[in-house]
Structure 1
Amino acid sequence: MFIHLLCLLAPALVVAAPLDFSQAKTEARQYIYYDRHTQGDAYCGCNWIWTGRSGGRVDLAGCGYQVRAQANRAQRIEWEHIVPASDFGRQRQCWQQGGRAQCTASDPVFSVMEADLHNLTPVVGEVNADRSNYGFGMLPGTTAQHGACDVRVDFTRRTVQPRAAFRGQIARTYFYMADRYDLRLSGAQQRLFMAWDRQYPVSDWERERDRRIAARMGHGNPFVSGARQWSLNHRNSRDGLVSAVPAQAASTVVHGNRNSHIYHLPHCPGYTAMAERNRVSFSSPASAEAAGYRRARNCP
């Protein structure tokens, strides 16, 4: 009886890493941050109410936030790539051939990086927009531009100073992404993040966050657990490049037509019919839709 029960439960215990950014945002809400909406977002410490599959409405008054320029985005929670997609995308061949859309369409490793839960965190949308893909740094002469939100942005120098409570997690996320996906960090970046890693040790929440993410993705951040330490000119493990792309991703290949911007699944009539020169491959329907494609009407 006990063995039979285990057999019934086993499929529910098997999880796979999210296949794309859209799925990652949904999983981040459901499994990682589901109970953190009253603990404050990463940049400002603002609470929010969950809405939709992965969004949220920010309590601006409760955290003393003042809108700088974009009222609509200030009111909503968005998902921030701590290491920007452009940073890791530019180090992939696909980026040179067509930017993020091309990488999403043709590079499974980019899709894995874009969907990596260790690199995602919920933030106030306007601050997400203001951060853009700027690098992190210290800005002692810059005043706060978002009320009580203690994040500072220098738009001329394209630099963001995050609040102190978030700096250690930023550092350890950069170490993780660089180590796992063989990304290059400048000497100045390494020194800054090594200082933040020392000054802002791993918190109880960062450890719990790492455990939750590991349960979904199958691996934790070794720079959070202490299994690895970063030193200047660290030699990257490249674990994310030598590991196989999740089997689920390999089995779901979507064909899109670059002329019509319509995509077909393997069971669809047009899946094998289109000319090779017109074919664009995606890892999932969500990836195709993110690139501006729609599903064929004869493809249920």
Structure 2
Amino acid sequence: MPYFIFAILISLVSFNLNAEQFTRFSTAKRHLIKTLPADAKSIYCGCDIKRQGKKLIPDASSCGYKPRNVTTRSGKPNSRAVRIEWEHIVPAWEFGHQLQCWQKGGRKNCVKTSEQFRKMEADINNLAPAIGEINADRSNYRFGMIAGSASQYGQCQVKVDFKQRVVEPPSYSRKRIADAYFYMQKTYGLKISAKQQKLFKAWQSQVFTAQKTSSNF
């Protein structure tokens, strides 16, 4: 599948300005699991997503994903490598730190005391299906560009620099990520550094250029 078409499919997953609004992250997740399109892909690897009862699991064979860690430090199977989780594209840590509630008790206090935080945490326009291991590895790292080829997760084209705390997403998910950041900025007043804004605008224009170019074929 050409990247420009794949990018369109990815960008449609759980990004809807007229989407239903929630005030609880748990409620938003249940809604997304129930309404996830059959052709949805995981945001960082482009894996097909299969249903297993009430759970969602990545189809590793569809995207060449291989876990970075097959087992945990205690030697147990890495359960997060075989499940789909709902990734906050703008991490809760990032938008939470911009609220007073975080300074008085972190995420737990924000959930308890801040209606604004609860809305931001549960906003499905900032949520995307991701393989649990990559969701964990991304943590609250910023997005950026990293030298070298992607090899940490098999054929999955995401890169994570743990030392510099930077994540480079694959080209087909960059517009989705940029859109989410600017949506959170417009909707909630999220502060985004000038450097990050420049990067995200470039990601949006790159995809736009690819879509325009495709119309000539």
Q: TM-score range by the shorter chain?
A: 0.7 to 0.9
| In 2, Cα distance between equivalents of 1:120 and 1:21 | 10
Contact 1:20/1:115 (<8 A) preserved: yes
- Give a deviation string over 1:3-29, Cα, whole Å, max 9, x none: xxxxxxxxxxxx952221000011112
- Give a deviation string over 1:98-135, Cα, whole Å, max 9, x none: 00000000001100000001000001111101101101
- Give the Å deviation of 1:62: 3.0
- Give the Å deviation of 1:203: 10
Q: Which has the higher contact order (CA 8 A, sep 6+)?
A: 2
Q: What residue in structure 1 maps to residue 130 of structure 2?
A: 123
Q: What residue in structure 1 maps to residue 15 of structure 2?
A: none
Alignment TM-score, normalising by the size of structure 2: 0.80
Say which SS state the counterpart of residue 119 (structure 2) adopts: helix
- Give a deviation string over 1:133-175, Cα, whole Å, max 9, x none: 1010111235420000000000001000001000011111100
| In 1, Cα distance between equivalents of 2:81 and 2:66 | 9
Contact 2:150/2:157 (<8 A) preserved: no
1:35 partnered with 2:38: yes
Change (3 A) 1:203 1:111: farther
Contact 1:20/1:114 (<8 A) preserved: yes
Matches within 5 A, 1:1-300: 17-31=21-35, 33-36=36-39, 39-53=40-54, 55-69=55-69, 71-141=78-148, 143-201=150-208
- Give a deviation string over 1:231-279, Cα, whole Å, max 9, x none: xxxxxxxxxxxxxxxxxxxxxxxxxxxxxxxxxxxxxxxxxxxxxxxxx
Contact 1:83/1:174 (<8 A) preserved: yes
| In 2, Cα distance between equivalents of 1:135 and 1:142 | 19
Identity %: 46
| In 2, Cα distance between equivalents of 1:103 and 1:50 | 32
Amino acid aligned to 1:60: A
Amino acid aligned to 2:157: D
- Give the Å deviation of 1:61: 2.7
Change (3 A) 1:131 1:202: farther
Q: What residue in structure 1 maps to residue 75 of structure 2?
A: none
Amino acid aligned to 1:20: R
| In 2, Cα distance between equivalents of 1:141 and 1:202 | 24
List alignment gaps of at least 5 residues for structure 1: 1-14, 205-300
Alignment TM-score, normalising by the size of structure 1: 0.59
Amino acid aligned to 2:51: W
Change (3 A) 1:145 1:102: same
Contact 1:142/1:154 (<8 A) preserved: no
- Give the Å deviation of 1:30: 2.2
Q: What residue in structure 2 maps to residue 252 of structure 1?
A: none
Contact 1:77/1:125 (<8 A) preserved: yes
| In 1, Cα distance between equivalents of 2:23 and 2:209 | 28
List alignment gaps of at least 5 residues for structure 2: 1-18, 71-77, 212-217
| In 1, Cα distance between equivalents of 2:69 and 2:125 | 30
| In 2, Cα distance between equivalents of 1:125 and 1:177 | 23
Aligned residues: 186
Say which SS state the counterpart of residue 69 (structure 1) adopts: coil
Give the 4+ runs in structure 1 shifted more than 6 A.
none
Contact 2:42/2:58 (<8 A) preserved: no
Say which SS state the counterpart of residue 201 (structure 1) adopts: helix
Q: What residue in structure 2 maps to residue 289 of structure 1?
A: none
